[in-house]
Amino acid sequence: MTPRRIYKWDNAKALLMFLVVLGHFTEPFTEAGYPLIYRSIFMILYTFHMPAFIFISGMFSKSTLQKESFAFAKLFPFVILSFILKIGYMVKDYIVTRKLSAFHLSRFSNIVWFLLALFAFYAIMYLVKHINPKAVLIVATILACLAGYDKNINDTFAVSRVIVYFPFFALGYYTEETRLRTPKKRV
């Protein structure tokens, strides 16, 4: 039986996708000389849209991670698609600029980092899912806060983003969707 779709979350994801596009649209206008409103919109969007996206991804990871027959092989399409998209972006850049950009095996940007991070989130969550949720959240949050102070933690294989955003994924994993529903009230 196919799980029932919850349109509220589909709509939330659609809104977040729109905000991602809006954020990327405003990014070139954040440099000096452009009105402050663009920089403000950019900063506001980037404070919540990716954490919210990752939280929702964590919420819907339960059906995969709680299966007894979970296999890490199911995660490799994330990695394979990451490299296919990375090559695709390189081809697109060549078509647009007529210059062949360097292919960095370990540097990921655009949607590519998100796919690689999802691979890592699922793998880490699978490994820690039997540990006390409070302990996982506390340790993950402390590591996320400290990651910015360590110069060795960078965007190689999206490691800094994995560390910084994992608490949101874990929080989503531990949150029951039914607890987020608002009760109907009579007006």
* Size of the chain in residues: 187
Q: Are the beta carbons of 172 and 54 closer than 8 angstroms?
A: yes
**Are 35 and 121 within one domain?**
no
What are the two backbone dihedrals, phi and then psi, of residue 98, each rounded to the nearest 5 degrees?
Answer: 60, 25
- Classify residue 122 as exposed, middle or buried by CB count within 10 Å of its CB (0-12, 13-18, 19+): buried
Q: How many domains does the chain have?
A: 2
Whether the per-residue pLDDT at 72 is higher than 90: the answer is: no
Show the domain range for 119: 70-175
Average pLDDT, the chain: 84
Give 16-57 pLDDT, tens digit per residue.
Answer: 989 888 888 888 888 878 888 888 888 898 889 899 999 999
Whole-angstrom distance, CA of residue 134 vs CA of residue 178? 20
Domain identity same for 127 and 147: yes
Q: Range with the lowest mean pLDDT among 8-12, 78-82, 126-130, 140-144?
A: 78-82
CA distances from 47 to 13, 20, 39, 53 (A): 16, 11, 12, 12
Mean pLDDT of the 60-80 span:
81
What's the confidence (pLDDT) of residue 187?
38
Listed residues 60, 78, 101: the one ending a domain: 60
pLDDT number for residue 116? 86
